[in-house]
Structure 1
Amino acid sequence: MQINQVSTQSCQVVDLQLLSEGIYRVTLKCHQGYIPDYRAGQYLEILLTGGEACAFSIASPPVPMQKELELHIQKLPSSANSIKLFNELEQGSVSIRMPKGQCFLESIPDKPLVFIAAGTGFAQMKSMIELSLAKPDHKDIYLYWGARSPEGFYMPNLPIHWASPHFHYHPVVSDTLDEDSWKGRQGLLFEAVIDDKDSVIDSEVFISGSPQMVYATFDALVAENFKAEYIHSDVFEYAPRS
């Protein structure tokens, strides 16, 4: 499978919108015209002036003659790199390197799709879900989105907008408090998927989160007879088990 050639582009920061809990939707537009070709699920790197590369999933699906990209970025006040990144975003121009990543959808499989996202891992899933929903012959799609609190679902209306007989949304909160009044599913993301095992076991599975979360999810699913070859994550590439 041939991957599109990586290139470096200068981009205008078209929009920097606070969504929730320090998470921003960032819209970029390439100065050179069209966005380089990429596949749904891939990521880019923002190159800071000191040479640091910050990786972020591309939240928008690829379309012909694309002019803008969407990213979801959490601002971390305790991180010097994060502060530097947002200073450069606020100045209105950044350099990016793309496409990166081996975890993507090139065509829509003839089986259900399960997307498991922790926090801003939703961005990668959004790209693949929107690509899939645009195909008239897609199978059932399941989104399990995990957050520590209900406020962590920083685009709460979008999965509801996607709702259809073939799209199933399961928000899962891990750390609920009495004052949250959360009535939905609680616990670990993989527990919710396993609870629904009869519906999703023969699916293609995509996981986005920290290496610890991804490997815990992978191990739990494989232990429940999900097929390892149908489970995908960028973590397998950039943080392989020794």
Structure 2
Amino acid sequence: MTIKCKVKSIEPLACNTYQILLHPDTPVLFKAGQYLTVVMGEKDKRPFSIASSPCRHEGELELHIGAAEHNAYAIEVVEAMQQALELGSDIEIEAPFGDAWVREQNKRPLLLIAGGTGFSYVRSILDHCVAQSIESPIYLYWGAKDARQLYAHDEIEQIAKAHQNVHFTPVVEQSEEQWQGKKGNVLQAVAEDFTSLEEFDIYIAGRFEMAGAAREQFTQHKSALTEHMFSDAFSFI
């Protein structure tokens, strides 16, 4: 379904990362963890996770787009959004898509794993679960190149403090002296912290190779069940 949207705002979240708020002209019904595509051309439709949650989006759709210099695929979308904002013109999207939405009926502990702006995917799931007062333990691991890319660090820390079932572990590849958290690879951090993942529903967003590595490593070494691992990347790898 093609939907016209106004670009309400574009705000920097971190270096080369932007929060974009879209106001669709018709309501978009979606599940936490689904994505939309931005229509750049008849055969050019680019997917981005919906960062807002379905229960609290108030008619707006939030995107987090990482547009580093080498990533023309994302830069062109941000530029199109900026032009639409300046001109008051429309952006077209199609939504919703994706099968990696949260299975809240499962009542299992949740493990949310994000790399970079894959955080937008787990942010939607986390916000939805908190809003729905889901009591299952929720473990969120967010990996980034450095602490500056953890643009919602303080916000998630506050959510974890307010909800005893929410546990947040940020992981950085490159750290400065004052960094007190985990260092290295986000999947390695998960592997170090859990003896078994058999009881978990696991939701993953990031580079395709990360999702593939998670599925392989966790099923082989941590007893994770394939049918309880969810990532839209699995449809492409």
Q: Same fold (TM over 0.5)?
A: yes
**1:227 to 1:160, Cα distance in 2 relative to 1, 3 A:** same
1:129 and 2:129 matched: no
How much has 1:187 moved relative to structure 2? 1.5
Aligned partner of 1:182 in structure 2 is: 179
Which runs of no fewer than 5 residues in structure 2 stay unpaired? none
Match of 2:33 among 37, 41, 45: 41
What amino acid does structure 1 have at the position aligned with 2:229? I
Say whether the 8 Å CA contact 1:112–1:200 is kept in structure 2.
no
Unaligned runs of 5+ in 1: 1-6
User: Does residue 157 of structure 2 align to residue 160 of structure 1?
Assistant: yes
Q: Secondary structure at the match of 2:106?
A: coil
Aligned pair 1:54/2:52, yes or no?
A: no
Between the aligned residues of both structures, percent identity stands at 30
Which structure 1 residue ranges, 4+ long, deviate > 6 Å from structure 2?
none
> What SS class does the counterpart of residue 135 from structure 2 fall into?
coil
Select 1:28's aligned residue among 22, 30, 40: 22
* Aligned residue identity for 1:234: D
Rounded Cα–Cα distance in structure 1 between residues aligned with 2:201 and 2:78: 35
Q: How many equivalent pairs are there?
A: 229
In structure 2, relative to structure 1, the CA distance for the partners of 1:83 and 1:140 (3 Å cut) is closer
- 1:105 pairs with 2:102: yes
Counterpart of 2:212 in 1: which secondary structure?
helix
Q: Which residue is 1:230 aligned to?
A: 228
Partner of 1:208: 205
- Whole-Å separation in 2 of the counterparts to 1:65 and 1:148: 29
Counterpart Cα distance in 2 of 1:129 and 1:182: 24
Residue pair 1:113, 1:142 contacting (<8 A) in 2 also: yes
User: CA RMSD, aligned part only?
Assistant: 1.9
User: 2: distance between equivalents of 1:219 and 1:183?
Assistant: 29
The alignment status of 1:71 with 2:63, answered yes or no, reads: yes
Opposite residue 82 of structure 2, the aligned amino acid is: E
Partner of 2:13: 19
1:85 paired to 2:83: no
Counterpart CA distance in 2 for 1:14 and 1:58 is: 15
TM-score (norm 1): 0.88
CA displacement at 1:84 relative to structure 2: 2.6
The separation in 2 between residues aligned to 1:234 and 1:40, in whole angstroms, is: 13
* Residue 191 of structure 1: how far off its partner (Å): 1.5
